[in-house]
Structure 1
Amino acid sequence: MKRLFLLVVCLLLQQRQTRSDEGTSCKPVTASFCQGLGYTSSPFPNGAQGFSLRQIGLMVETACSPHIATLMCRVVVPECGSENESRKKPCRALCEEVKRDCDSTLRAKWLFWPMRLRCDALPESNCVQGQVIPVTQASPVTCQPITVPLCNDLPYTETILPNTLGHSTQQQAGTEMQKFAPLVRVGCSPHLKRFLCSVYTPKCVSGRPQPPCRTLCEQARSGCASVMSSYGVQWPETVRCEAFTTESCEQIVPQQVQMRINERTTCKPIAASFCQGLGYTSSPHPSGAQGFTLQPIGQIVETACSPNVATLMCRVAVPECSSGDDSRVKPCRSLCEKVKRECESTLRAKRLSWPSKLQCESLPESNCVQVSIDVKLISEEFLVFAFTF
């Protein structure tokens, strides 16, 4: 009898502790689009792990289904409760209905169904069937001049928000883009900055954002692959290339088509070992541009007189193929001057001469390849980059 009494007391204490924990872990639901759904508190008021509350809000505001708020909020900002949890989850049938209703609308607005929201993982019974919640349509947005410093030299000058990542202001977009600063400074791909800007500050076309083409994403990713791999960094899931389609590519004018055809016919693989791993693999002059001889260029690079000597020498003597602005694949004037200054004593000691045709003042000052010269700093930043994503 005494043991039974102790067991009952223990169970009561455990129940009390469970309710106490629930009371302390649950917080008020603050998201405006999750109000009026029959509950006011959640253990994840800022969104459950793996979900972006801003992205969910944009989806709810489309009002693509009368049950969109019920489904999204009960999954992303779940209701607190110590009873049967399935009773607080949306039903599988409701999820499938909303997904079907919203497919075309979300695609038209370049919004993507959350990867973690799988309808087949939801209960089939003893769950929330749905509530019709009136949703106020978001006020129309208009094109705005680009103010993000990194994107102020693009072929287009106006953007429109929110973007596909849910940023509603350029300040938010610019702050998030800083996570990619190490990659941009390394200059691992001439396509990286254009890709990032087209994601974070997309071009405004007829009052709608134009996402980047998947091929542009793949070019940026492949160019930076070797650098990221050396630091053990994966391409961020937030900008995965599979999220973009070829349908979002800009129209190509005939002149651009001809330039790309010419590029394909004249560009050849780079064979010089000292020009490998620089973010590009083909050149119209794989044996060296006119006025440059690969042998002395290779000797200069092998001295390692500067962390960026390979980038400078190869991009000048074995230039990258490009159908766009050639200055974007050329090294910057400041980089050339820095390398020349760092290499002066080493080249003199080894009786090597600076290429007479390599005049730093002939290189562009902006919109060009600039590599950070602080290797230690880059390493530290890549460690931060790796943990950020």
Structure 2
Amino acid sequence: METMSVQEVVVPMCRGLVGYTHTRLPNRFGHVTQSEVIPILDKAIERYWPFMDSDCHKNFRLTVCGTFLPKCSTGSNAIVLPCRETCFSAKRGCSQKLKQGGTKWPNRQLKCNRFRRKRQGSCLKAVPNHMAPAPLRYAYCEQNTFSACANLSLQIRTLPNMFLQSDERIIQLEMNQYEALLQSRCHDNLAFLLCGVFAPFCPNDQQPFVLPCRETCEEVEMACAEEFQRLYRGLPWPAKLQCHRYPSGSSQQACATPNDAAIA
């Protein structure tokens, strides 16, 4: 029988965003570390991440995270999974938007009938309200208020970002995940990359926003990936910071570098 272990939740999709801080592994799929969970989330669940961020339903993230990283039940070996009602409410709330986005509810991983009902015992009922994204709003070229961005030369940002996030509370919670990495000073441009990803820069033309250049991202990843693994239980470089997502400085699409004082 595998030994169960209590671990702090460090998976970026879930950390600080679901109302609990620790998980107990192995989970129902047999994953014993969070670094084993990540490839499954990336392969099977990553395409659903924008729907979590834009809030197709406040319980969608809790259902995903609670399934793969069940909450640790203090004082016992029990794990706390999402309630059946929690799962079904997310499925009802998200199915139409998922269909519009060309995908559907991940029944293979998130089959709601597998979970217990609320009346059958302890389960994850709902994400706390302050961790549920507000409805999508458009904020074009506003002052950047995120703490990590205070010293950048580019201080005007546009929301929503490329992940359809517009709720500043939720964006700040996600950016807070990287505080230990920022404190490590692994690269001078880490803050620039994080700010350009989560709160992209305001252009002076008709583009919706301008992202960091791929070359800057690659420099930061090369310097910080090993430190990230050390700090976050062996996890790979985060999906949202994968450099292929961002335009090259040699391409036709505009991008920003740390030396830019303004976006032309």
- TM-score between both structures, scaled by the size of structure 2: 0.46
Structure showing greater Rg: 1
Between Structure 1 and Structure 2, the one with more helix by share is: 1
Q: Relative to total residues, which structure has the larger strand share, 1 or 2?
A: 2
Q: Return the TM-score normalized by structure 1.
A: 0.32
